Amino acid sequence: MLEQSFWDEMNASGGDVRSVYAKIDAWLRETPPDVLSARRSQAELLFRRIGITFAVYGSKDASERLIPFDIIPRIISQSEWGLLERGLVQRVKAINAFLTDIYGAREILRAGVVPDDLVFRNPHFCPQMAGRRAPHDIWVHIAGIDIVRTGENEFYVLEDNARTPSGVSYMLENREVMMRLLPDLFAAHRIAPVENYTDLLLNCLRSVAPATAAREPVVALLTPGQFNSAYYEHSFLADRLGVELVEGSDLLVRDDVLYMRTTQGPKRIDVLYRRIDDDYLDPLAFRPDSVLGVPGVLNAYHAGNLTLSNAVGTGVADDKAMYTYMPEIVRFYLGEEAILKNVPTWRCREPDALAYVLDHLHELVVKEVNGSGGYGMLVGPHATREERAAFREKLLADPVNYIAQPTLSLSTCPTFVESGVAPRHVDLRPFVLTGANGSRVVPGGLTRVAMREGSLVVNSSQGGGTKDTWIIEDPDMRALASFSSQRSV
């Protein structure tokens, strides 16, 4: 199991260079390591200057850290992307239908497709939303769907993020840095643009504004504040969107309308792109001790004077237990098979599955149903005997809280590390925007890379890095030939 071979996105399984990577391969061949190294230093300098850092919870020494950036782009062809895109849009459509249903008629529970208790006892199910509809029946305006690849046409969804997915600022910054750093390599490819993401996002948010909004709806971005790990992204996005970055204390609700305090008096807000969790959103409805939220904001939402993006209670659709039902959920609402596959998953809530998982801990990845960021998980093959024993106890104590998956043979991409260019495991988080006019996926996403050799954990909180993701036109062979001859002149 440990000796499994991995599919490399550049070399396939040790064979010829895949055509999409031909130019990257040529570039890597003819660029001396010291030049690559210099480029990497420049990249780091650029990121430092931009100030793009993130905080790691629970780490004392480095409260602000730079996410390692790898200068070798990850390449995906348009035809591969087309498949991914259709699958992503389908999945988000099903998630929105699911949320409309479980907070409404609950047909899927009546049909017995998803067990009642998985919804009603889910900590992210929000009773306050029952019987309510989201504007345009869109709950998840911004989704981040984590994708892994294991082979030529083998894509799997690793997890859905339907609450407040982050990382899009890295997608945008990585692209800018790459354009500045490697303009020749950039110009040699026809790369689909991601720069228009913020325009699309703003259009999306405005399209779901309540009917009572002004003709040009006012959007604001609500952040928990500068101590949040994603604060950089919040300020970055507010800046790019051209909207106010606000904290709870800047806002007030009067007569079920949300206002922000300005020097010219209160100004109405129609759409709140909130980057704080449900629990903290409204002390009158959720945690009464929250000082991050706005008292009465849920009333404004219920009264139809405000759109919250994403809607409240979407977490019930993205937890890891619900994930296992996603193929059935797609089938139930859309009458189609899911285009993107799920990773085979054992639900430890089921006794047979639990028994299997306990017997195969050494080869499985066990995750908490509601965990994120790579915390609270066991990577069986890499764990010590003691770690496995400790996890066995946890599993037995609370099986409902866990799922297990095989250790996937995540694809690798060439990555510039200390020892030179070497394959490292990657995943991909594309962002799906859904507004009144349908879903859009910006071609690209955040590629995360596990910088340590053999590591499968790509989370930035666990030492993962990022790469720019290039969706390029399917290469045609003549153009390739001319590129090589040009370069060798």
Partner 1 sequence: MRIVIRHEIEQSFEPPVKSLNQALRLTPRSHESQHVVRWRVETDGDSRLRLGEDAFGNVVHALGVSGVTSQLRIVAEGVVETFDAAGIVRATVERFPPGLFLRDTGLTMPDAPSREIAARISGGNMIERLHTLLLRLQHGETEARDDEAAQTNPQDTDEAEALAHRFIVCARLMGAPARFIAGYVLHPEEREGKRHVWAEAYVEGVGWIGFDPVNVICPHDGHVRAAVGLDALDAGATRAAPQPLSVASSVSVRRAD
Q: Which of 343, 323, 348, 342 is nearest to 402 (CA)?
A: 348
Q: Which of 405, 419, 427 is nearest to 453 (CA)?
A: 419
Closer residue to partner 1, CB minimum distance, 224 or 445? 224
265 belongs to the binding site for partner 1 (CB under 8 A): no
Closer residue to partner 1, CB minimum distance, 32 or 131? 131
Please tell me the distance from the alpha carbon of residue 188 to that of residue 228, in angstroms, as a whole number: 39
Which positions from 286 through 345 interact with partner 1, judged by CB under 8 A?
287-288, 295-296, 299, 302
**Diameter of the chain measured on Cα atoms:** 72
Closer residue to partner 1, CB minimum distance, 110 or 180? 110
Closer residue to partner 1, CB minimum distance, 69 or 280? 280
Closer residue to partner 1, CB minimum distance, 119 or 143? 119
The least distance separating partner 1 from the CB of residue 301, rounded to whole angstroms, comes to: 13
Instruction: Count Cβ atoms below 10 Å from residue 339 Cβ, excluding itself.
Output: 17
Which positions from 136 through 165 interact with partner 1, judged by CB under 8 A?
none
Of 44, 256, 328, 350, which lies in the binding site for partner 1, with binding defined by CB under 8 A?
256
Instruction: Count Cβ atoms below 10 Å from residue 290 Cβ, excluding itself.
Output: 20
284 belongs to the binding site for partner 1 (CB under 8 A): yes
The least distance separating partner 1 from the CB of residue 214, rounded to whole angstroms, comes to: 21
167 belongs to the binding site for partner 1 (CB under 8 A): no
Closer residue to partner 1, CB minimum distance, 54 or 103? 103
The least distance separating partner 1 from the CB of residue 283, rounded to whole angstroms, comes to: 4
Which residues contact residue 388 at a Cβ distance below 8 angstroms, ignoring those fewer than 6 apart? 361, 362, 378, 380
Report yes or no: 224 and 247 within 8 Å, Cβ to Cβ: yes
Report yes or no: 306 and 282 within 8 Å, Cβ to Cβ: no
The least distance separating partner 1 from the CB of residue 265, rounded to whole angstroms, comes to: 13
240 belongs to the binding site for partner 1 (CB under 8 A): no
Reading the block at residue 357, the tokens are 């998982």
117 belongs to the binding site for partner 1 (CB under 8 A): yes
Please tell me the distance from the alpha carbon of residue 435 to that of residue 433, in angstroms, as a whole number: 7
121 belongs to the binding site for partner 1 (CB under 8 A): yes
The least distance separating partner 1 from the CB of residue 130, rounded to whole angstroms, comes to: 5
Please tell me the distance from the alpha carbon of residue 370 to that of residue 231, in angstroms, as a whole number: 22
29 belongs to the binding site for partner 1 (CB under 8 A): no
Count of positions on this chain that bind partner 1 (CB under 8 A):
25
Helix axes 168-181, 197-207, angle to 10 degrees: 150
Q: Which of 285, 289, 246, 290 is nearest to 269 (CA)?
A: 246
Question: Among the candidate windows 39-47, 113-121, 135-143, 468-476, which touches partner 1 by CB under 8 A?
Answer: 113-121
Question: Among the candidate windows 282-290, 341-349, 373-381, 452-460, which touches partner 1 by CB under 8 A?
Answer: 282-290
The least distance separating partner 1 from the CB of residue 313, rounded to whole angstroms, comes to: 11
Please tell me the distance from the alpha carbon of residue 90 to that of residue 218, in angstroms, as a whole number: 30
Of 28, 43, 129, 450, which lies in the binding site for partner 1, with binding defined by CB under 8 A?
129
128 belongs to the binding site for partner 1 (CB under 8 A): yes
Of 52, 143, 201, 253, which lies in the binding site for partner 1, with binding defined by CB under 8 A?
253
180 belongs to the binding site for partner 1 (CB under 8 A): no
- Alpha helix segments (H runs only) across 158-277: 168-181, 183-188, 197-207, 231-241
Burial of 29 (0-12, 13-18, 19+ CB in 10 A): exposed
Closer residue to partner 1, CB minimum distance, 102 or 471? 102
Closer residue to partner 1, CB minimum distance, 10 or 395? 395
Which residues contact residue 149 at a Cβ distance below 8 angstroms, ignoring those fewer than 6 apart? 7, 9, 155, 156, 410, 411, 426, 428
Please tell me the distance from the alpha carbon of residue 163 to that of residue 431, in angstroms, as a whole number: 12
Of 254, 262, 344, 481, which lies in the binding site for partner 1, with binding defined by CB under 8 A?
254
The least distance separating partner 1 from the CB of residue 285, rounded to whole angstroms, comes to: 8
Instruction: Count Cβ atoms below 10 Å from residue 253 Cβ, excluding itself.
Output: 22
Q: What amino acid occupies position 14? A: G
Question: Among the candidate windows 67-75, 92-100, 127-135, 145-153, which touches partner 1 by CB under 8 A?
Answer: 127-135
The least distance separating partner 1 from the CB of residue 116, rounded to whole angstroms, comes to: 5
Closer residue to partner 1, CB minimum distance, 29 or 261? 261
Reading the block at residue 131, the tokens are 């019987």
Helix axes 231-241, 197-207, angle to 10 degrees: 80
116 belongs to the binding site for partner 1 (CB under 8 A): yes
255 belongs to the binding site for partner 1 (CB under 8 A): yes
Reading the block at residue 284, the tokens are 């009158």
Binding site for partner 1 (CB under 8 A): 116-117, 120-121, 123, 125, 127-131, 252-256, 283-285, 287-288, 295-296, 299, 302
